[in-house]
Amino acid sequence: MISLFLLLALGLLVWFWISSLRSRERAIQAATAACHEMGAQLLDQTVSLQRLKPARSRYGHMTWRRIYGFEFSLAGYERREGRAFMLGQRLEQVQLDRPEGLVIDMKSAPRS
């Protein structure tokens, strides 16, 4: 019985890890697309997980909301912050901190 529980726990851990990798890849694509649209450069070519919490999808199913942070540059010498909000595997929005204020981009969601 204990080995069955351990096998189930290991399976859930692997599922969560694969889901997190997919979500991260989509967040990188969205951050890259948003930066490209505004003529900015995505620094370090990656995102990092800032927050993880349970949430409900638009259909009422339990899923994970992940907020990924990244840095970009408009002129090549300053670093600005941005965030990609993922609900499960779906991009909700990308926020970019610009000198004139916060820009929220919902068009750069990779189509899947």
What does the pLDDT look like over 20-61, one tens digit per residue?
Answer: 999 999 999 999 999 999 889 999 999 999 999 999 988 889
Q: Of 91, 73, 90, 89, whose CA–CA distance to 81 is shortest? A: 73
Domain ranges for the chain = 2-105
Report field, pTM of the whole predicted structure over 0.75: yes
What does the pLDDT look like over 55-103, one tens digit per residue?
Answer: 998 888 999 999 999 999 988 788 999 999 999 999 999 999 987 778 8
